[in-house]
Chains A and B, each alone.
Chain A
Amino acid sequence: MASTTRTAHPREKRVIFKNIDRPGWTNDIGCYLQDGGYEDLKKAIAMNPQDIVTEVKTSALRGRGGAGFLCGVKWGFIKPGGSKPVYLICNADESEPGTFKDRYIIHQDPHQLLEGMIISCFAVNARLAYIYIRGEFPEGAKILERALAEAREHGFLGKNILGSGFDLEIYVFRGAGAYICGEETGLIESMEGKRPYPRIKPPYFPAVLGLYLCPTIVNNVETLCNVKYIVRMGGAEYAKVGTRVLCVSGDVQRPCYCEFEVGGITMGELIYDICGGLKPGRTLKAVIPGGSSAKVMSAKDRYKIKTKQPDGTIRENEMGLEDVPIDFETLAAAGSMAGSGGVIVMDDTRDMVWALNNINEFYAHESCGQCTPCREGSLWMKKITARMLHGGGVPEDSDTLKRVADNIAGRTICAFGEACAWPTQSFLDKFPEEFVATAKRMGNGNGSTNH
């Protein structure tokens, strides 16, 4: 681990990331216990598991893995008293370009994750849980193994945890080195020793037919950490003050991770106040707000956002990109998504065909290849943008790109279909003239390719 530490910006509200880069902080259990660690577990384990589920429902906690699914609703799919075992899997496959938060939790504060996980397992009555960690995080896997051993020694894992009668084991499972292993059903297939081909839903909803076809809860690292604070402060309070970690990359002076109350900061504040602004002489062109698959937002656009006023009325505000607050509903209303929290900033020097081609390369490389539209479409889109960049553009390219993307989104087995189609759809929607210009400028007009 790099030893450079960064101090939190005064505007941040560090909860999940409280111990990240904290002076004097180490990732062993002693340090964690001195700081009040595992107290939330003690509180939780004295509660009725169903009450924890209710608190999580009240908290309106949304999944931090990308889809923003309501965690309490997901947990509610597990019916108590079923005949099959329930599994819980922590999704630590973090691979979405622009996203780098889970790795810090694992490296620097693994016990926070374990505590959140143990509480979550208790709530959904899972007696066996796994942390599926990205294959490229060998150090993280070692740290987790050690943390698990420590937790076992202290009686937070194993038989009869804290005298409650609740038994739980957690194991680390090292991922298979592909982005698609992060898709929850692909992840489950991979854990079963198969290719990580995502499953069709219906019928294979993890909460019904998950790992070994048993009910399974899959949650992101950050999501599970939040459960600890919901237990501590109660769901209603959390709903008001819950935080979210953001990862900022791209054309800012100081790329970073940071944490704010959900909706507690606007795009402009994030870029200019937290990340030191753009490079000298540059202007903001676009932002991808939630990992590479989120739809791109243009700085030229005006966004009409409905907000609830304190008196309960709804007001529609029109605003520029820099004034858009970063929360789930607003970004969705603005036509994109909060996704995985990876904010990618692009300034006016960025060529949008180049940027899209960069994203297309990733998705063409990572499509698992199981279903036709994504398998063939993701590579086709990449080939078109690559050809345009290398001087072989033709006037039809924009139209073809859009139609290829339209033929993928909504027609695939898993959400990778949208993940690879949305960039193309949104780049063409927001910056059509750049695509036309690239095709014209570089095109030889006869449609021949040069490879």
Chain B
Amino acid sequence: MSAPSELLNVQIDGIWHQFQKGTRVIEACAQAGKFVPHYCYHPKLSSPGNCRMCLIEIGMPKLGPDRKPETGTDGKPLINWIPRPQISCAQDISEGMGIRTESPMVKECRNGVMEFLLINHPLDCPICDQAGECQLQEYSVEFGTAGSRFLEEKVKKPKRVEIGPRVTLDDERCILCSRCIRFMKEVAHDDVLGFVSRGSHTYLTAHPDRLLDSNYSLNTVDICPVGALTSSDFRFKMRVWFLKETKSICTSCATGCNTIIGTRQNQVFRQTPRENDAVNSAWMCDYGRLNYHYVNSTDRLQTPQIREGQELVNTTWNSALVKAGEELKQFSKDGIAVVASAKMTNEELWLTKNLTELVGTSHCDIIPRSGAADDILMSADRNPNTLGAQLIGLTGEKPGLRLKDIAEGVRSGTIKAVLALGEDLTQIGLQADELKKLASLIVLDILPTETTRSATVLLPSSAFCEKRGSMINIKGRLQRLHRATQPPGAARDDWEIVRDLIQKLTGSNGIYLIEDVFKQMTDSIPDMNGLSLSRIGDKGVQLVEETEEAPAAI
């Protein structure tokens, strides 16, 4: 369908390369292994060319009297070098172009820009959150000089500005690259940031009477090359070089933005977006990003419990699972209901589906969750894996349709046992006293709810960052979650709990590793045939065609 792409010949530091037509000069250099330092350039935003860090030398093919390029003894075109340095971030390559990224002039330019950027910079690295991932620090080491010739007083600007509910601004650290302004205008569609005043006194601010309060505000913190914009949530909590980084996905809506979870000593400190053009470009929303604090909550359920009269008492995993198995065996198939969650992974859902088939009930569903969608990333479906639940068959085409029957069955007493996985049943209209009447209420969850308090068997499970597994986003992309932290106390990974529950009903089922679950699942679901967890990779695979026409060939 796409036209055959044209390749252009470009000389970089004396060596000829070929690049696709339309490649930015700075990107061509990167592809050739010649990193060009830059501040204002961001591949997802427009190019203002304001920082001047990316200055290089450019030349055009030398034309002879016949207007044809002249060639040298090596048969390659001769190059006419433009005497002034040129920026590499705003121009595409052209045929026969020459580029120098290491010449004395280029080095001098970088050195000059670094010195200019530093003279009015507060140099408060020891107390700056950006330290460790600051491009000003990094480039200073590589392209700057150690001493300063600056004897003057630095320009004073506003500090500790609460520019929005989640972002703190230090204008003295700002290098005026305008990335944040362009992000808010071009991506978040909320043109709320801008520069005021002039010259070296220019500073960043929000529009009068406005705050940087967009649901995408924290992306400005990510792309700010220095410590001018910091996350009020993360500020002063942890040095970034101590953070362990785990690739995962956000589970706060069906978009499934790709993330990096930053943790230390089994605690989550932040989530940042991970680039994936098929999903979230380089962004994520603030809601999803900050929706992790509950994971670190001291209320987390940590020990399996069983009911003894009015009390839930601690017990071992084995005795809790034995009791759960025994309870389930007491009831005939339609006396049992399974309420699962579309926040569960495919692996968990698939095992749960097996369990429902084993006990023979048709009373199973997930609880839908929705909110307002925006035209940026956020999906109206606030469950991250609805598509997975549908594909696996735990819910129908319209998720939640069977919940009413389940609630009525509980009330009328036809349903005597409920297995609730990660959901609070008050959401389907059941009150605590109604839940207490159940002969069996087996609950997997991470935090106390009305449902956990009414359980007969309570099985503490894992949060999204403690899990391995996969989910399918709203666009039919299969993506992986990775374990960033261990669940607290004796809590376990959900898939293991469900597997063990099945084993209590049937004996061993040959599943030891999550890979085994995945293998059985992919074998049994045609759309997933032939996949393995490792084949999903960091960026996921398209499982079902976005258009919902024909399933994609994988």
Question: Complex formed: what's the CA distance from A202 to B90 in Å?
Answer: 8
Q: Is A369 an interface residue (CB 8 A)?
A: yes
Task: Establish whether residues B112 and A366, one from each chain, have CB atoms under 8 Å apart when the complex forms.
Answer: no
Question: Complex formed: what's the CA distance from A396 to B108 in Å?
Answer: 19
What sequence of 0s and 1s flags, for each residue 372-409 of chain A, a beta carbon within 8 Å of any chain B beta carbon? 11011111100110010000101010001001001100
Task: Establish whether residues A380 and B150, one from each chain, have CB atoms under 8 Å apart when the complex forms.
Answer: yes
Beyond A200-B90, A379-B155, A411-B52, whether A372 also contacts B200 by CB under 8 A is no
Would you list which residues of chain B between 126 and 159 have a CB under 8 Å from chain A? 149-153, 155
Across the interface, name the chain A residue whose C-beta is closest to B47. A200
| Set A178, A383, A400, A406: member contacting B198, Cβ < 8 A | A178
What sequence of 0s and 1s flags, for each residue 289-303 of chain A, a beta carbon within 8 Å of any chain B beta carbon? 000000000000000
Looking at the assembled complex, report how far the CB atom of B274 sits from the nearest CB atom of chain A, in whole angstroms.
Answer: 30
Would you list which residues of chain A between 192 and 207 have a CB under 8 Å from chain B? 195, 197, 200, 202-203
Task: Establish whether residues A366 and B116, one from each chain, have CB atoms under 8 Å apart when the complex forms.
Answer: no
**B residues less than 8 Å from A369 (CB atoms):** 176, 195, 197-202
Question: Complex formed: what's the CA distance from A376 to B176 in Å?
Answer: 11
Question: Complex formed: what's the CA distance from A314 to B116 in Å?
Answer: 45
Q: Is B87 an interface residue (CB 8 A)?
A: yes
Question: Complex formed: what's the CA distance from A128 to B177 in Å?
Answer: 35
Task: Establish whether residues A410 and B85, one from each chain, have CB atoms under 8 Å apart when the complex forms.
Answer: yes
Across the interface, name the chain A residue whose C-beta is closest to B118. A376
Task: Establish whether residues B153 and A375, one from each chain, have CB atoms under 8 Å apart when the complex forms.
Answer: no
| Set B109, B151, B199: member contacting A364, Cβ < 8 A | B199
Across the interface, name the chain A residue whose C-beta is closest to B150. A380
Beyond A369-B199, A376-B116, A449-B151, whether A413 also contacts B50 by CB under 8 A is yes
Q: Is A50 an interface residue (CB 8 A)?
A: no
Beyond A202-B90, A387-B152, A411-B52, whether A380 also contacts B119 by CB under 8 A is yes
* Chain B contact surface mostly: loop
**A residues less than 8 Å from B176 (CB atoms):** 369-370, 372, 375
Q: Is B175 an interface residue (CB 8 A)?
A: yes
Question: Complex formed: what's the CA distance from A429 to B234 in Å?
Answer: 52
Task: Establish whether residues A366 and B199, one from each chain, have CB atoms under 8 Å apart when the complex forms.
Answer: yes
Would you list which residues of chain A between 399 and 451 have a CB under 8 Å from chain B? 400, 403, 406-407, 410-413, 447-449, 451
Beyond A387-B152, A411-B109, A449-B153, whether A375 also contacts B49 by CB under 8 A is no
Across the interface, name the chain A residue whose C-beta is closest to B175. A372
Q: Is A368 an interface residue (CB 8 A)?
A: yes
Question: Complex formed: what's the CA distance from A168 to B51 in Å?
Answer: 40
Across the interface, name the chain B residue whose C-beta is closest to A447. B151
Residue from B48, B49, B109, B151 whose CB has the most chain A CB atoms within 10 Å? B151
What sequence of 0s and 1s flags, for each residue 147-180 of chain B, a beta carbon within 8 Å of any chain A beta carbon? 0011111010000000000000000000110000
Task: Establish whether residues B195 and A195, one from each chain, have CB atoms under 8 Å apart when the complex forms.
Answer: yes
Q: Is B55 an interface residue (CB 8 A)?
A: yes
Task: Establish whether residues B199 and A378, one from each chain, have CB atoms under 8 Å apart when the complex forms.
Answer: yes
Question: Complex formed: what's the CA distance from A387 to B152 in Å?
Answer: 8
Q: Is A239 an interface residue (CB 8 A)?
A: no
Q: Is A149 an interface residue (CB 8 A)?
A: no
Q: Which bucket holds chain B's interface residue count?
A: 35 or more
Question: Complex formed: what's the CA distance from A396 to B119 in Å?
Answer: 17
Task: Establish whether residues A372 and B151, one from each chain, have CB atoms under 8 Å apart when the complex forms.
Answer: no
Question: Complex formed: what's the CA distance from A367 to B152 in Å?
Answer: 19
Q: Is B91 an interface residue (CB 8 A)?
A: yes
Q: Is A151 an interface residue (CB 8 A)?
A: no
**A residues less than 8 Å from B91 (CB atoms):** 202-203
Looking at the assembled complex, report how far the CB atom of A189 sits from the nearest CB atom of chain B, in whole angstroms.
Answer: 11
Q: Is B531 an interface residue (CB 8 A)?
A: no
Question: Complex formed: what's the CA distance from A20 to B517 in Å?
Answer: 92
**A residues less than 8 Å from B201 (CB atoms):** 369
Task: Establish whether residues A200 and B49, one from each chain, have CB atoms under 8 Å apart when the complex forms.
Answer: yes
Task: Establish whether residues A412 and B52, one from each chain, have CB atoms under 8 Å apart when the complex forms.
Answer: yes
Across the interface, name the chain B residue whose C-beta is closest to A368. B198
Question: Complex formed: what's the CA distance from A406 to B149 in Å?
Answer: 15
Q: Is B541 an interface residue (CB 8 A)?
A: no
Would you list which residues of chain B between 502 and 516 have a CB under 8 Å from chain A? none
Residue from A195, A367, A379, A448 whose CB has the most chain B CB atoms within 10 Å? A379
Question: Complex formed: what's the CA distance from A377 to B175 in Å?
Answer: 14
Beyond A373-B113, A376-B116, whether A200 also contacts B200 by CB under 8 A is no
**B residues less than 8 Å from A400 (CB atoms):** 149
Would you list which residues of chain B between 81 and 112 have a CB under 8 Å from chain A? 84-85, 87, 90-91, 108-109, 112
Question: Complex formed: what's the CA distance from A200 to B55 in Å?
Answer: 13
Question: Complex formed: what's the CA distance from A356 to B42 in Å?
Answer: 38
Task: Establish whether residues B116 and A373, one from each chain, have CB atoms under 8 Å apart when the complex forms.
Answer: yes
**B residues less than 8 Å from A376 (CB atoms):** 116-117, 119-120, 200
**B residues less than 8 Å from A387 (CB atoms):** 151-152
Question: Complex formed: what's the CA distance from A447 to B153 in Å?
Answer: 12
Q: Is B115 an interface residue (CB 8 A)?
A: yes
**B residues less than 8 Å from A410 (CB atoms):** 84-85
| Set B50, B113, B197, B199: member contacting A379, Cβ < 8 A | B199
Looking at the assembled complex, report how far the CB atom of B375 sits from the nearest CB atom of chain A, in whole angstroms.
Answer: 24
**A residues less than 8 Å from B194 (CB atoms):** 195
What sequence of 0s and 1s flags, for each residue 163-195 of chain A, a beta carbon within 8 Å of any chain B beta carbon? 000000000000000100000000000000001
**A residues less than 8 Å from B151 (CB atoms):** 384, 387, 392, 394, 447-449
Task: Establish whether residues B152 and A449, one from each chain, have CB atoms under 8 Å apart when the complex forms.
Answer: yes
Looking at the assembled complex, report how far the CB atom of B115 sits from the nearest CB atom of chain A, in whole angstroms.
Answer: 7
Task: Establish whether residues A203 and B109, one from each chain, have CB atoms under 8 Å apart when the complex forms.
Answer: no
Question: Complex formed: what's the CA distance from A228 to B202 in Å?
Answer: 42
| CB-defined A-B contacts under 8 Å, sample of 11 | A203-B90, A368-B198, A369-B198, A372-B117, A372-B176, A373-B113, A375-B116, A376-B200, A377-B116, A413-B52, A449-B151
Which residues does A use to contact B, with CB under 8 Å? 178, 195, 197, 200, 202-203, 364-373, 375-380, 383-384, 387, 392, 394, 396, 400, 403, 406-407, 410-413, 447-449, 451
Please name the 3 residue pairs, one residue from A and one from B, whose CB atoms are nearest each other, closest first.
A407-B112, A369-B202, A376-B116
Besides A370-B50, A380-B150, 17 other A-B contacts (C-beta < 8 A): A200-B49, A200-B87, A203-B91, A364-B199, A365-B198, A369-B197, A369-B199, A369-B200, A370-B48, A370-B176, A372-B52, A372-B113, A378-B200, A400-B149, A411-B52, A412-B52, A413-B50
